[in-house]
Structure 1
Amino acid sequence: MESAQPLDASQLRYQYTTTPREVPDAEILAKNKQTICTDHMIVASWDVNSGWSTPELKPYGPFNLLPTASCLHYAYECFEGLKAYRGHDGKLRMFRSDRNSQRLLMSSERISLPKFDPIELEKLIYTLVSVDGARWLPKTRAGDFLYVRPTIIGTDSQIGVAKPTAALLYIILGYMPRVDQPVGGKRLMTNPDDVVRSWVGGFGYAKVGANYGPSLQATEAAYRQGYHQILWLYGPNGDCTEAGGSNFFVVWKRKDGKKELITAPLDDQLILDGVTRRSCLDLAKDRLEDEIEVTERKFTIGEIQEAVSEGRLLEAFAAGTAVSSDS
Structure 2
Amino acid sequence: MARGITEDEVWKACDALLLEGARPTIERVRQKLGRGSPNTVSPMLETWFKHLGTRIADPGAFTAPASMPDPVHQAAKHLWEAAQAEARRDLADQLNEGLANATANIEAEKERATIADAAAFAASLKAAHLQAELDELRLKFDVERSAHVVAAARLEEALQRHTDLKSDLEKAWQATEAERGRGAQVVAAAEERATGAERRAAMEIERERMLRIKFEKSNESIIKRFEEALKAHVSANEQLGAAQLRFTQLRTQADQREQELQAVTQQCGTRIKELEAALSMANMALARSSAQDALVEQLVAKLGATNRAPGLRSAMPKSAPPKKGKTAG
TM range (shorter): under 0.3
Q: What TM-score does the superposition give when structure 2 sets the normalisation length?
A: 0.17
Choose between structure 1 and 2: higher helix proportion: 2
Q: What TM-score does the superposition give when structure 1 sets the normalisation length?
A: 0.17
The one of the two structures with greater contact order (alpha-carbon pairs below 8 A, sep at least 6) is 1
Choose between structure 1 and 2: higher strand proportion: 1
